[in-house]
């Protein structure tokens, strides 16, 4: 392989990394091909993800995810993914699944894990273990209509990461800095995103 980094697409590899076998469970051949394809045709990078959620009473809802668009076409998941959302008993639910804000934290951790694993593979770093503990502080006063001075969402989010690797602390530090700059969900959480809500036809 050419002496270059795919961290995701920036070219600055200082050492050769073979793409003949997976690293961290990542197929480096496909990763290289994906980066090169996007460099040649930027339209490939445009994706739209979508979900459908159905309320089932109380705090419970069921979300299904089956398709998305990207890579210049419609794509289907191998199977329809189903996520159950609920509230814990103390918040009047039946605790059949995590609540929405817990799902946000899980999404953030999952996205960071992908970023670390993929970029570590691209940089020739082997990971033995990778774990995230994510905490979010939320005040219910706004949700309950008791205060206009408190934001309804998280006030703070803290991410604690544990990683086991032969890489140096400096290598891991640079890796984590890069992942923070490129993580989609971290960007969504950290920065305002335009959101439109429409009341359409009856369900």
Cβ neighbours of residue 43 under 8 Å, at least 6 residues apart?
72
Q: Which residue carries 């032969």 as its tokens? A: 166
Q: What is the pLDDT of residue 40?
A: 92
Regions of the chain short of the pLDDT cut 50:
1-17
Q: What is the pLDDT of residue 2?
A: 32
Q: What is the pLDDT of residue 20?
A: 57
Q: What is the pLDDT of residue 11?
A: 31
Q: Residues 153-187: pLDDT tens digits?
A: 999 999 999 999 999 999 999 999 999 999 999 99
**Report field, pTM of the whole predicted structure over 0.85:** yes
Q: What is the pLDDT of residue 203?
A: 64
SS3 letters for 157-198? EEEEEEEEECCCHHHHHHHHHHHHHHCHHHHHHHCCCCCCCC
Q: Residues 62-78: pLDDT tens digits?
A: 999 999 999 989 999 99
């Amino acid at each position: 392989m050419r002496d270059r980094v795919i961290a995701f697409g920036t070219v600055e590899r200082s050492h050769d990394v073979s793409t003949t076998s997976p690293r961290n469970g990542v197929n480096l051949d496909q990763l290289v091909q994906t980066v090169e394809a996007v460099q040649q045709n930027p339209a490939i990078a445009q994706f739209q993800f979508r979900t459908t959620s159905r309320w089932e009473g109380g705090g419970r809802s069921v979300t299904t995810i089956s398709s998305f668009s990207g890579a210049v076409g419609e794509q289907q998941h191998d199977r329809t993914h189903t996520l159950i959302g609920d509230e814990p008993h103390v918040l009047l639910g039946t605790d059949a699944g995590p609540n929405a804000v817990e799902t946000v934290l899980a999404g953030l951790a999952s996205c960071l894990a992908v970023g670390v694993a993929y970029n570590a593979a691209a940089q020739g770093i082997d990971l033995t273990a990778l774990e995230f503990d994510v905490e979010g502080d939320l005040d219910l006063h706004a949700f309950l209509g008791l205060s206009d001075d408190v934001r309804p969402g998280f006030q703070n989010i803290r991410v604690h990461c544990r990683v086991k690797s032969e890489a140096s602390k400096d290598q891991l530090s640079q890796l984590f800095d890069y992942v923070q700059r490129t993580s989609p969900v971290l960007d969504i959480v950290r920065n305002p995103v335009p959101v439109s809500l429409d009341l359409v036809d009856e369900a």
